[in-house]
Amino acid sequence: MNTPFIRLMKQEGIKEEVIRTFEAYYNLLAQGEKGLIGEEEINPPAEKNLIDYDKIRHYSRNSLLKHIAVVKLNGGLGTSMGLSKAKSLLPVKNNLNFLDIIARQVLTLRSISGYDILLLFMNSYNTDEDTLKYLEKYPDLGKQDLPLSFLQNKFPRIRQDNLLPYENKDKKLMWNPPGHGDIYTAIGEYLGKMIAQGYSYAFVSNADNLGAIVDTSIPAYMEDNRIPFLMEVCLRSPMDKKGGHLCEDKSGQLLLREIAQCPEKDLPVFQDIDYYKYFNTNNLWIDLRALEWHIISNEGLMLLPLIVNPKMVEGTAVYQLETAMGSAISLFNNSKALVVSRERFVPVKKTTDLLALWSDVYELNEQYQIVLKRGVVKAPVIELEEQYYGKIEDMQKRFSKGIPSLNSCKELRIDGDVSFGEDVICEGKVTLKTSSPVFVQNCLLTGEVDLNAVAAKRKTGQEDKDGFQSS
């Protein structure tokens, strides 16, 4: 590897194992590796590699709780939604944010079981301080032998024209997070301590997925069947067609293929949800002893399938070297995929997801898991016009006086600037259209509604009898 990278990383105080990991990936890039997985190399996963979640519930063993470490990925700022702090600080239900709910999930489980369930956050440099400060309100949470958090590492950006370090006066722009696959390197200093303290399994999930709660039937099944690595997967819907999908190589080894790893010619097949049926929820169960052995056997490194991500940074073409933590499924013999329902996958990636959580579609159960309210079969499809609802501040402005009832709603599409007050019910398939700002309250909405036309027709004074008001 070019010595400028080594020098740069050492100056930054980056650990030796991180430098060695970057070096291995850089050498692949220099040799022409693009991290692509072509259609000719893979097949959909065979049934023998898939496990039905409903068929293993009887494996549950509460004694395993004392051997489980809960790890939450918490490095995101939610910049796509206009946030500048940790995304996990965003209120999502009953005035509780992600951190509140995660903390209460673990504390409740500790209280019920009597076991010291370990909780760890993988934070980024951007989220660590805010996260730890907020969690001070839960002093019992930190009563464990290991710190609550460890930090995601960083890699130097690489110029595409000469494969040298990208330089910028703003030093932050010279670096990129190496993807959540970095977790195996970042947690390395804790791994031996965790095993020594009796922890056998790590349950890893995204902090913004409040459906991801501990279920001992999963590690119990893994233990009985000697499964070192298990990925929870769901059936893909049209909304998931761009997300990473499960597949296997020609030898039958499970693989995860992200869209950045798909050659352009294969994109139509990649997005065929009937052919590649399952996507990765990023809920992963890992046998810590198997992980430690793999790292030791590979000279202290955990090298995952490479993702070469081309980017433009202030007019300069760069490469970002990244990995996905789910791709570790390809590194373990007898790894499996667990087919789960959407109750274990309730993420917040966009403001549309947030509206669903704010509404009466979801509730918090006794375990502080986000679940569909009784009687609701499926969450509605929600589409909100980006211009008016794309950012958190937009959402807070337009829903501050009320959240529409959506538990009888199949689809909600809003075309235009609509703000909501109290007692608005959306039923069936609802499309709201307006060319000017409108405020709605005290009404039942169903079908396609031209709010401007209704307001113009029925307006009496400032407000109409059906609760439509021009802003």
- Looking up residue 425, the CATH number of its domain turns out to be 2.160.10.10
421: amino acid identity, one letter: G
Q: What percent of the chain has pLDDT over 90?
A: 84
238: amino acid identity, one letter: P
Residue 112: C-alpha distances to residues 25, 115, 116, 117 (Å) = 45, 8, 11, 11
**Whether the predicted pLDDT of 151 surpasses 90:** yes
pLDDT at 426: 96
Alpha-carbon span 297 to 315, nearest angstrom: 42
CA angle 391, 394, 397 (to 5 degrees): 150
Residues 188 and 217 grouped into a single domain: yes
Q: Mean per-residue pLDDT for 308-328?
A: 96
H/E stretch holding 149 reads strand 149-151
Q: What are the backbone angles phi and psi of residue 198, rounded to the nearest 5°?
A: 100, 5
Residues 364 and 381 grouped into a single domain: yes
**Whether the predicted pLDDT of 456 surpasses 80:** no
The DSSP string of 270-329 is HT-TTTS-EEEEEEEEEEHHHHHHHHHHTTT--PPPPEEEEEEETTEEEEEEE--GGGGG
Residues 18 and 138 grouped into a single domain: yes
Among 306, 325, 344, give the residue marking a domain's end.
344
3-state DSSP helix/strand/coil % of the chain, to nearest 5: 35, 30, 35
Contact 184, 302 (CB under 8 A): yes
Residue range 358-394, pLDDT digits in tens: 999 999 998 898 999 988 988 999 999 999 999 999 9
Residues 23 and 92 grouped into a single domain: yes
**Whether the predicted pLDDT of 1 surpasses 80:** no
pTM score: 0.92
Residues 358 and 432 grouped into a single domain: yes
Residues 427 and 384 grouped into a single domain: yes
Residues 223 and 151 grouped into a single domain: yes
Domain count, the chain: 2
Residue range 171-229, pLDDT digits in tens: 999 999 999 999 999 998 899 999 999 999 999 999 999 999 999 999 999 999 999 99
Range of the domain at 453: 351-470
Alpha-carbon span 56 to 273, nearest angstrom: 26
**Whether the predicted pLDDT of 462 surpasses 50:** no
Q: Which CATH number is 214's domain given?
A: 3.90.550.10
Among 305, 328, 344, give the residue marking a domain's end.
344
Question: In whole angstroms, what separates CA 401 from the centre of its chain?
Answer: 29
| Res. 85 pLDDT band, cuts 50 70 90 | confident
Mean pLDDT of the chain: 93
Among 320, 344, 368, give the residue marking a domain's end.
344
Residues 358 and 338 grouped into a single domain: no
Residues 306 and 420 grouped into a single domain: no
| Res. 83 pLDDT band, cuts 50 70 90 | confident
Residues 155 and 275 grouped into a single domain: yes
pLDDT at 81: 85
Residue range 10-47, pLDDT digits in tens: 999 999 999 999 999 999 999 999 899 999 999 999 99
Residues 397 and 275 grouped into a single domain: no
Residues 336 and 247 grouped into a single domain: yes
